[in-house]
Structure 1
Amino acid sequence: MNEISQSVPEKDDCNFAMLAHLLGIFTGFIGALLIWLLKKDSSAYIAQESAEALNFQLTVMIGYVICGVLTLVLIGLLAFPLLYVVNIVFCILGAVAASKGTGYRYPFVLRLIK
């Protein structure tokens, strides 16, 4: 019988991963970028989760730029608050999953950072 044992990340790793997801609400991509740059070599779990959070925040930033252009035809005014709410919801979902030690993959994200 082949059993694959998956190790649960340490609590500190879970906390940094959770922080990478939550900082996106307040700092955009800067918080996730700092955690990724400072902690990617200390833990594979932190590297994976902070890169995922960073990719999501970069995608959201691109979405905000598109919304800014779309304000010329007024649809962007409706899209800005919708994108803001989506950002908050997915950041919270990512933080909850990270705090439990399970990985989280955001849907519809450009995977720019591997």
Structure 2
Amino acid sequence: MKENKQLLVLTHLSQLLDFVTGIGGFIVPLILWITKKDEIRNMDQHGKAILNFRISMFIYVLLCIPAVLLFGLGLLGFLVIGIFYLIFPIMNAIKASNNETPSYPFSINFIH
């Protein structure tokens, strides 16, 4: 296995494609993880963390939809999730460049 910190950083930052394409922020990290998890050191760990984060945030978005009817609490949820979508990929890209373990708070561990 070879080390490629730049690809790990790119994988985390590729989540920001959602702000441009809508769905690319899930598809690109998924493809990078599937194709490179056995070639790049720590790609499996980083890829799983990203996908668990993305799936968890999608579930939280779905929960916010009916919560909009409850005094607009869902709107606050959408705002918080939007901030998470922006900040955590950047923070974890920095961690990846420093050989640190990725950390996505509020992630449910779907992929082990």
- If the length of structure 2 is used for normalisation, what is the TM-score? 0.82
Match of 2:90 among 71, 92, 113: 92
Q: Percent sequence identity over matched residues?
A: 31
Cα distance in 1 between the residues matched to 2:88 and 2:58: 14
| 1:112 equivalent in alignment to 2:103 | no
Q: Which structure 1 segments of 5+ residues have no match?
A: 1-8
One-letter code aligned to 2:52: N
Cα distance in 2 between the residues matched to 1:69 and 1:101: 40
Segments of 4+ moved more than 4 angstroms: none
| Match in the other structure for 1:82 | 80
| 1:29 equivalent in alignment to 2:20 | no
One-letter code aligned to 1:110: I
Count of matched residue positions in the alignment of Structure 1 and Structure 2: 104
Asked if 2 retains the 8 angstrom alpha-carbon contact of 1:94 and 1:104, the reply is yes
One-letter code aligned to 2:62: V
C-alpha root-mean-square deviation of aligned residues, in Å?
Answer: 1.6
Flag the structure with larger Rg.
1
Matched ranges for 1:1-114 at <5 A: 10=3, 13-26=4-17, 27-73=24-70, 74-114=72-112
One-letter code aligned to 2:95: A
Q: Which structure 2 segments of 5+ residues have no match?
A: 18-23
Asked if 2 retains the 8 angstrom alpha-carbon contact of 1:22 and 1:92, the reply is yes
Cα distance in 2 between the residues matched to 1:59 and 1:37: 19
* Deviations 1:63-99, CA, capped at 9 Å, x for gaps: 1111122122221112112210122111111010011
TM-superposed deviation, 1:56: 0.7
One-letter code aligned to 1:17: L
Cα distance in 1 between the residues matched to 2:37 and 2:28: 13
- If the length of structure 1 is used for normalisation, what is the TM-score? 0.81
Cα distance in 2 between the residues matched to 1:25 and 1:69: 26
